[in-house]
């Protein structure tokens, strides 16, 4: 393909500065991309432009703000790679990285220092919160910090407030790249309990955070938390970034080698990067690398999460003065109608402009998208929020008429069509404001899905289960204070009862019955009995008598209460949670559609949170109450429902916060609840309380974290809300704030006044808005992409309903004590195949092998968070023997060949637009490009029970890897092997898998057909496989979710 052809294909259809942005020769380029300016399209084409110029794929790194944005970027880049790739060649991303910064940092740490970081995991927010709650008193010593932040107060700071303030300050140290901790010189212990606690107490924070009691006590606890996370092989999101920056800063040679490999960097949403991310980007780019930063200072809305718009302003100043830098502005809005653009331009003029930046008006870029009627852009006020919500619901009923299959007229690139529910969003300032709107839509029969609110703990079914969990942890009442997001406040708003477990159980059950959800007549009494019995079993660590649990029916729960170890050394929170669900009878809710299906989704999301509290490791009987408390305290303030696109009908209104709507667009937007004290938030300018004093405040300035006196952060948030709309926009309030209507003697207009000045309707009679609605047949979006992994798809192949419960609803399996065994085996195998010749050299010396393997185990490569004592030692001994046997068996191969262990991949099945990710255990380099794909099975039945595959499934998995090796890794993989670790019979050590063209084609069709079935939501089927164990009657007997499954086969298995 000629350079002119490439240029024509990559610049076709672009307008304004877009072609210049795609083809710019500037080494460092800042694109100020206004709302609706097509920035993703420009970034994707710019990456393709670099590739056409000869930049290797694996030299490009593209950072996005979210994983969802990364998925969109990957598909767009592939489209343009395909446009410039000769027919017959694979249009793949190759080794290009497209994803979030924190994921890249974690990947980088594993690559640059695998011996230290390869066995680490990212700990999510709830797991970290639960870990802090468990170690609040002894290891972390947080009561001293609690006392230090309480002087002058009537009441001592609560444990919740203390934990929140501690973690907020800890994250600030990471976000500003000042966290430095001196760890003990002696090796980290691999045993759980006292040895690790003693080690962590010796850690010291090196950065001076101040001399006050608050600063000193914080410093001690922060050092211990960092040490404890390292001891447990965890990094949190913020630490993963600062750790990567620290590695590159402390080891300039590693940074230089990385810059030689990574030469071109894209950063999306640059207005929201934080200081440590800015440092990372500068380390990657250096003095010779290429940077394309894309952002819009008018949409900088994540300052509360560390984003600093000043970083973008500083880069703009640098590039305007740099001979090989440039700043371009994309000012054509291709999203909205002229009136909407005029309204947002007017509002933009009320926002302060950072230094070195400008805020020019956006121009209408989509000529065919014109305004139909003045009343389609309107601002209205109401006597109450209930009146406002009812008007929104009635208006949606005008805009979408399901009985006729029609909706309000809207234009797309394919032609005019009617709006659907999925074209409509209700945007609110905070998630705590969502419940009224959600319940009103539900009452009007309008399907809706919630993104980022209301949180899970505003749902009666979640509160019901929370009540039982509270009883199981011995709680008399729920904690949380007066905060509107606390559990007592949620209970009061949703149920109107006392914030105590038994009243919550009884009142929530009554609410659910009123909503038509199936509950047994005696379920409240049985749940109370179950919760109290679990608490007694755990607190006394003794078995109960049969007479004490007459009301409990669930067999597995009765087994736990009546039998099992005594004294009780450990408990499994997810197992207890599943038993509670079985006692509740949630299997009766397992239906297609309706309120019961929504309730199951909420319970599934709660199951995911329970896994979070179990993630940090072994749960002792004494830890369990703290874990439940952590779950409830963190969850009520932070837990939110996922969008669940496979659960709900695709045609549903979205109720979401403005922050969550960033980057999205809708045919119709309702900006609701623009009320005094709520929008703008009365707390926006409040400086955060940080336990710092002295010089560190010059680096971490609370005044910069808070909104400025003009509340520009809140104004930018309104700008984001207004610019989500493509055609219809309705701004509403029940107690108008200054953002809604102009205040007397104020020179800054409100949105309603701006709308009126631009020809829209404001302060009108409700009956007049909206008017002149033309309807056309509705058509739901044709967007049909699926991003998944083979591990996920195999659940569907085994049992579609298992996939539904696990991957759609979010139910998670219980964790057993062997959890992590298989991963430990794989870690040891990675070490062997990274240096095969040295291992082959000692294959004949069993003693030398044992010593070297033991050294790896002691270094933490075989780390078991959920096991201690004799069971842990037995697993380590077994693992050592298995690995030694492997080296002896394959010594000749290890001596002769080279290997690439753990090759990540993503491969696209084009015909179904399904992107499948995975990791090949080992690529054996037989005679490159000829290779063999090797997959290992760990050899421990208990560890592998849930993940074990039959031979057909294993062959499909390896064949899928073969497809990826050919298309993404550019190898000729004609053979695959499954190796069974620990197998001593020669004939059973390996399963050979053909990777010929027919096998690859059949695997491709299987994956494509599975994707089609998932999209069709064909989940009411299964199981499709025979049982794994000879002692099982059916596959259901072995299922993780037998107690919650509503399929007929599950009922039969339960008996």
Q: Binding site for ATP: what residues are annotated?
A: 33-40
Assess contact for 495 and 508: CB atoms under 8 A: yes
- The tokens describing 198, both together, are 């003693």
Query: Whose structure tokens read 């309702």?
Result: 670
Of 905, 955, 902, 961, the C-alpha closest to 933 is: 961
Report residue 37: phi and psi, to 5°. Answer: -90, 0
Q: Which residues contact 273 (CB under 8 A, 6 or more apart)?
A: 101, 267, 281, 307, 308, 311, 312
CA 451 – CA 557 distance, rounded (Å):
34
CA 791 – CA 935 distance, rounded (Å):
13
Report residue 411: phi and psi, to 5°. Answer: -105, 145
Q: How many residues does the chain have?
A: 1055
- The tokens describing 757, both together, are 């000045």
Burial of residue 398 (number of CB atoms within 10 Å: 0-12, 13-18, 19+): middle
Name the H helices within 723-863.
Answer: 751-757, 790-798, 800-803, 821-834, 836-841, 846-856
- The tokens describing 1004, both together, are 């491709």
Reply yes or no: is the peptide bond before residue 680 cis, omega within 30 of 0.
yes
Assess contact for 433 and 611: CB atoms under 8 A: no
Report the SS3 class of residue 728: strand
Of 904, 916, 442, the C-alpha closest to 653 is: 442
CA 228 – CA 673 distance, rounded (Å):
43
CA 161 – CA 29 distance, rounded (Å):
43
Q: Determine the Cα angle at 1048 with ends 1042 and 1049, to 5°.
A: 55
Query: Whose structure tokens read 């594993």?
Result: 110
Of 560, 574, 640, the C-alpha closest to 613 is: 574
Q: Which residues contact 983 (CB under 8 A, 6 or more apart)?
A: 939, 989
Query: Whose structure tokens read 């390996």?
Result: 990
Binding residues: 33-40
Strands 377-381 and 264-267: unpaired
Per-residue exposure over 906-928, b if at least 16 CB sit within 10 Å of its own CB, e if not: bbbbeebbbbbebbbbbbbebee
CA 724 – CA 663 distance, rounded (Å):
8
Q: Which residues contact 153 (CB under 8 A, 6 or more apart)?
A: none
Report residue 894: phi and psi, to 5°. Answer: -65, -35
Report residue 866: phi and psi, to 5°. Answer: -110, 15
Beta-bridged to residue 364, according to DSSP, are 333
User: End-to-end distance of the chain based on CA atoms, in angstroms?
Assistant: 67
Report the SS3 class of residue 197: helix
- The tokens describing 902, both together, are 């753990």
- Beta carbons within 10 angstroms of residue 186's beta carbon: 8
Q: Determine the Cα angle at 933 with ends 927 and 937, to 5°.
A: 145
With DSSP H G I counted as helix, E B as strand and the rest as coil, what are the percentages for the chain, rounded to 5?
Answer: 50, 15, 35
Query: Whose structure tokens read 């560890």?
Result: 943
- Beta carbons within 10 angstroms of residue 469's beta carbon: 24
């Amino acid at each position: 393909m000629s350079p002119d052809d490439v240029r024509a294909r990559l610049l076709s259809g672009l307008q304004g500065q877009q072609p210049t942005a795609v083809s710019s020769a500037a080494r460092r380029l800042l694109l100020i991309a206004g709302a609706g300016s097509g920035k993703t399209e420009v970034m994707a084409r710019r990456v393709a432009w670099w590739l056409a110029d000869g930049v290797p794929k694996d030299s490009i790194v593209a950072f996005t703000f979210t994983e969802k944005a990364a998925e969109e970027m990957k598909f767009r880049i592939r489209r343009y790679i395909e446009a410039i790739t000769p027919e017959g060649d694979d249009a793949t991303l190759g080794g290009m990285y497209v994803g979030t910064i924190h994921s890249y940092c974690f990947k980088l740490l594993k690559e640059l220092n695998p011996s230290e970081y390869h066995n680490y995991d990212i700990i999510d927010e709830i797991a970290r919160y639960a870990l802090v709650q468990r170690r609040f008193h002894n290891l972390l010593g947080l009561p001293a910090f609690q006392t230090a932040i309480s002087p002058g107060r009537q009441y001592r700071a609560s444990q919740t407030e203390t934990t929140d303030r501690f973690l907020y300050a800890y994250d600030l140290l990471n976000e500003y790249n000042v966290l430095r901790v001196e760890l003990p010189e002696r090796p980290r212990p691999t045993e759980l309990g006292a040895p690790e606690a003693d080690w962590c107490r010796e850690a010291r924070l090196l950065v001076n955070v101040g001399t006050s009691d608050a600063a000193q006590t914080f410093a001690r606890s922060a050092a211990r938390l960092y040490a404890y996370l390292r001891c447990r092989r965890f990094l949190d999101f913020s630490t993963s970034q600062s750790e990567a920056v620290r590695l590159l800063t402390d080891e300039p040679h590693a940074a230089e080698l990385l810059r030689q490999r990574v030469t071109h960097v894209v950063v999306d949403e640059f207005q929201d990067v934080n200081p440590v991310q800015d440092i990372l980007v500068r380390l990657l780019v250096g003095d010779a690398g290429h940077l394309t930063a894309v952002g819009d200072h008018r949409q900088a809305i994540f300052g509360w999460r560390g984003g600093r718009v000043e970083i973008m302003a500083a880069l703009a100043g640098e590039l305007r003065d740099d001979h090989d830098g440039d700043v371009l502005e994309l000012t054509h809005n291709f999203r909205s109608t002229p009136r909407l653009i005029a309204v947002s331009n007017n509002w933009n003029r009320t926002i302060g402009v950072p230094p070195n930046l400008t805020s020019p008006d956006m121009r209408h870029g989509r000529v065919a998208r014109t305004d139909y009627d003045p009343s389609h852009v309107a601002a209205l006020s109401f006597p109450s929020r209930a009146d406002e919500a009812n008007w929104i619901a009635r208006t949606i009923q005008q805009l979408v008429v399901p009985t006729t299959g029609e909706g309000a007229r809207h234009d797309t690139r394919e032609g005019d069509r009617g709006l659907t529910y999925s074209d409509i969003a209700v945007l609110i300032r905070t998630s705590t404001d969502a419940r009224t709107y959600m319940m009103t839509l539900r009452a009007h029969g309008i399907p809706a899905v919630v993104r980022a609110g209301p949180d899970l703990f505003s749902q009666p079914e979640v509160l019901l289960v929370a009540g039982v969990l509270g009883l199981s942890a011995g709680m008399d009442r729920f904690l949380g204070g007066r905060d509107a997001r606390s559990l007592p406040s949620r209970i009061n708003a949703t149920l109107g009862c006392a914030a105590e477990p038994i009243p919550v159980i009884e009142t929530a059950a009554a609410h659910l019955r009123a909503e038509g959800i199936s509950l047994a007549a005696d379920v409240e009494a049985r749940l109370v009995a179950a919760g109290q019995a679990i608490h007694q079993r755990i607190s006394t660590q003794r078995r109960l008598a049969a007479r004490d649990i007459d009301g409990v029916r669930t067999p597995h729960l009765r087994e736990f209460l009546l039998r099992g170890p005594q004294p009780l050394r450990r408990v499994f929170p997810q197992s207890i949670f599943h038993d509670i669900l079985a006692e509740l009878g949630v299997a009766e809710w397992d239906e297609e559609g309706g309120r019961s299906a929504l309730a199951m989704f909420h319970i599934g999301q709660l199951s995911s949170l329970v896994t979070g509290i179990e993630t940090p490791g072994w749960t002792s009987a004494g830890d369990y109450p703290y874990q439940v408390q952590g779950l409830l305290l963190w969850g009520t303030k932070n837990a939110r429902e996922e969008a669940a696109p496979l659960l709900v009908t695709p045609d549903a209104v979205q109720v979401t916060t403005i922050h969550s709507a960033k980057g999205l667009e809708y045919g119709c937007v309702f900006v609701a609840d623009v009320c005094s004290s709520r929008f703008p938030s009365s707390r926006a300018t409040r400086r955060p309380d940080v336990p710092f004093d002295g010089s560190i405040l010059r680096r971490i300035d609370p005044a910069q974290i808070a909104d400025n006196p003009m509340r520009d952060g809140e104004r930018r948030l309104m700008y984001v809300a207004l610019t989500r709309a493509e055609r219809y926009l309705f701004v509403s309030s029940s107690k108008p704030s200054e953002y809604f209507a102009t205040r007397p003697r104020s020179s800054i207009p409100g949105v309603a006044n701006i709308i009126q000045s631009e020809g829209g309707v404001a302060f009108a009679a409700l009956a007049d808005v909206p008017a002149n609605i033309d309807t056309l047949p509705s058509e739901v979006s044709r967007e049909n992409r699926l991003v998944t992994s083979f591990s996920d798809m195999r659940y569907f192949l085994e049992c579609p309903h298992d996939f539904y419960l696990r991957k759609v609803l979010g139910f998670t399996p219980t964790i057993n004590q062997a959890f992590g065994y298989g991963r430990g085996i794989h870690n040891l195998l990675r070490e062997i195949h990274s240096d095969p010749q040295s291992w082959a050299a000692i294959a004949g010396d069993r003693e030398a092998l044992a010593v070297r393997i033991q050294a790896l185990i002691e270094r933490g490569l075989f780390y078991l968070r959920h096991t201690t004592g004799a069971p842990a030692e037995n697993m380590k001994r077994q693992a050592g023997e298995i690995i030694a046997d492997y080296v002896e068996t394959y010594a000749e191969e290890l001596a002769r060949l080279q290997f690439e262990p753990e090759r990540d991949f993503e491969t696209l099945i084009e015909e179904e637009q399904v992107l499948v990710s995975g990791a090949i255990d080992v690529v054996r380099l037989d005679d490159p490009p000829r290779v063999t794909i090797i997959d290992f099975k760990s050899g421990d039945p208990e560890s592998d029970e849930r993940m074990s595959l039959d031979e057909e499934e294993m062959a499909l998995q390896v064949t899928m890897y073969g497809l990826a090796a050919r298309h993404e890794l550019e190898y000729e993989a004609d053979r695959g092997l499954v190796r069974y670790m620990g197998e001593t019979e020669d004939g059973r050590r390996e399963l050979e898998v053909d990777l010929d063209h027919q096998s690859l084609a059949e695997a491709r069709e299987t994956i494509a057909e599975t994707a089609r079935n998932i999209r069709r939501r064909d989940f009411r089927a299964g199981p499709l496989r025979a049982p794994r164990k000879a002692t099982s009657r059916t596959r259901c007997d072995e299922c993780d979710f037998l107690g919650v499954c509503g399929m007929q086969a599950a009922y039969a298995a339960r008996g």
